[in-house]
Amino acid sequence: MPMVFDRPETLLAHAKPHTGPPPLAAFSFFSTQTGAIAPLVRKLKRYGWRLVAGGPHASGDPTGTLDMGFDIVVRGEGEETLPELLAALTDGRDLATVAGISYRADDGTILHTGRRPPVDLDRYPPFAPAWNRFGPIEITRGCPFACRYCQTSYLFGSRVRHRSIDTIGVLAAEMAERGLTDIRVITPNALAYGSPDGTTVVLDAVEALLARLRAIVGRRGRIFFGSFPSEVRPDHLSDPAAKLLRRYVDNDNLVIGAQSGSDRMLERCGRGHTAADVVRAVTAARRAGFHPLVDFIFGLPGETPADRAATVAMMERLIDLGARVHAHTFMPLPQTPFASAPAGQVEPGLRRHAERLIARGALFGAWQRQEREAQRLSAARKKTGPRIW
């Protein structure tokens, strides 16, 4: 099947009515991108295109995604589902034989075919060398913590799966051969690599991975690990772990997920660590020479004035230790326990404090835009009702 990778805006500008078999367009998108995707979907549907959706939003709300105008949703992991789906469409086979999809039958009924078992990451590269498309290397999939605002555990499962060091090495070497010697990784928690359960730290495994990458890219290459998109959990970042990272990585910052300064809210969110763990992690990062970037989420469901005060106090304490705050606003994402919670709203006092921290250069992030986006997502949910498959 001929394939073209295109940007949505380019596809929107050049899409035309077709003759012959309907062209197929496949999209993968976040909940925050649904507003931008909708006009393109409407135009392509008018032209008779067949549309397939995947990714976190479509997997979390397949019914709503079909209502947007998509013909088929690929739920969860697509490495095996998408090729089988394309083969079925090409051969004219019954879609009911393809596990892991949702679609409308001829009578309008929505059908959800059975789930697939988790894939073996070593069997599927995280990028497409044949199409000269490269990106970060996904080293771990799945998360045991199941934070109530986050889709990761509900999308990929609570059992961690690691791509092997040998496979990662082959991928990194292929990039290096093409002159791509900046190596970044994707993982829910960088220090969980090699852990059998994702809750313990196996520093020998982390070091073996980093040593292999360094041997491949040499000193002229750069390794980014523990920075976006591979943050570290505060309860996993010890002095030995921070010193190990400092020996191998090129990023001068570490992204640490705090989310709240209130132990009550951390427990409510299912974070599995305490506020004191965050202080210890930031201290360890600073001792190793890193600049900590600490994530906080404003407007979490059930937050009280006392919780907000604890968060403000924590942010100030961490800033005094040498950290910067990376601020977010809570967004109700499909397929999560907080999916039906009200959109995050930044209380006026917290807003003023955040703006003062911005002026000091101590806080950054898209929290204001996310607050607006959260309201849009919440309004859309109220219009249609929660629809989590």
Distance between CA atoms of 41 and 23, rounded to whole angstroms?
A: 13
* Same domain? 143 vs 234: yes
Contact 195, 205 (CB under 8 A): yes
Residue 70: give its domain's CATH number.
3.40.50.280
pLDDT band at residue 5 using 50, 70 and 90 as cut-offs:
low
Per-residue pLDDT tens digits for 245-301: 999 999 999 999 999 999 999 999 999 999 999 999 999 999 999 999 999 999 999
Q: Which of 78, 112, 146 is the last residue of a domain?
A: 112
Which pLDDT belongs to residue 22?
A: 84
Q: E-strand spans in the chain?
A: 24-28, 50-54, 72-74, 101-104, 110-112, 137-138, 140-141, 161-162, 182-186, 222-224, 253-259, 291-298, 324-329, 363-364
Confidence (pLDDT) at 343? 97
Q: What would the DSSP string read from start to end of 205-217? A: HHHHHHHHHHHHH
DSSP letters, 316-345, are HHHHHHT-EEEEEE----TTSTTTTSPPP-
32 occurs within a structural domain: yes
Statement to judge: residues 128 and 98 lie in one domain: no
Give the confidence band of 3 by pLDDT, cuts at 50, 70, 90: low
CA dihedral 59, 63, 67, 69 (to 10 degrees): 40
Are 365 and 240 within one domain? yes
Read off the pLDDT band of 4 (50, 70, 90).
low
Residue 48 maps to a domain: yes
Convert the pLDDT of each residue in 163-189 to its tens digit.
999 999 999 999 999 999 999 999 999
230 and 367 both lie in a single domain: yes
Given a cut of 70, whether residue 13 has pLDDT beyond it is yes
> Is residue 1 included in any domain, yes or no?
no
Asked if the model's pLDDT at residue 18 lies above 80, the reply is no
Higher pLDDT, 206 or 21: 206
Does 209 lie in the same domain as 82? no
At residue 384 the predicted structure's pLDDT band, cuts being 50, 70 and 90, is low
Mean pLDDT computed over 59-71: 95
In a domain, 389, yes or no: no
| pTM (two decimals) | 0.93
Check pLDDT > 90 for residue 81: yes
- State which of 87, 112, 137 marks the end of a domain: 112
Does 2 fall in a domain? no
Give the chain's domain count: 2
Kindly state whether residues 102 and 142 are assigned to the same domain: no
Q: How confident is the model at residue 389 (pLDDT cuts 50, 70, 90)?
A: very low
For 193-247, write each residue's pLDDT tens digit. Answer: 999 999 999 999 999 999 999 999 999 999 999 998 889 999 999 999 999 999 9
Residue 258 or residue 385, greater confidence: 258
Contact 311, 353 (CB under 8 A): no
Given 95, 112, 129, the domain boundary residue is: 112
- The average confidence (pLDDT) of the chain is 94
Q: What pLDDT shows up at residue 10? A: 75
Tens of pLDDT, residues 314-363: 999 999 999 999 999 999 999 999 999 999 999 999 999 999 999 999 99
Query: Which structural domain, as residue segments, surrounds residue 93?
Result: 8-112
**Could you tell me the pLDDT band of residue 386, with boundaries at 50, 70 and 90?**
very low
> Among 8, 3, 6, 14, which residue's Cα sits nearest to residue 34?
8
Report d(CA 339, CA 388) in Å as an integer. Answer: 9
Q: Are residues 189 and 312 located together in one domain of the fold?
A: yes
Asked if 82 and 217 sit in the same domain, the reply is no
Q: Is the Cβ–Cβ distance between 174 and 218 less than 8 Å? A: no
Query: Does residue 348 lie within any of the structural domains?
Result: yes
Q: Are residues 98 and 129 in the same domain?
A: no
**Would you state the pLDDT for residue 388?**
43
Assign residue 134 the CATH number of its domain.
3.80.30.20
Both 236 and 176 in one domain: the answer is yes
Residue 107 placed within a domain: yes
Do residues 142 and 57 share a domain? no
**pLDDT confidence tier of residue 130, bands split at 50, 70 and 90:** confident
> Which residue type does 264 have?
R
Q: Are residues 87 and 106 in the same domain?
A: yes
Give mean pLDDT, residues 69-88: 97
Q: Is residue 251 part of a domain?
A: yes
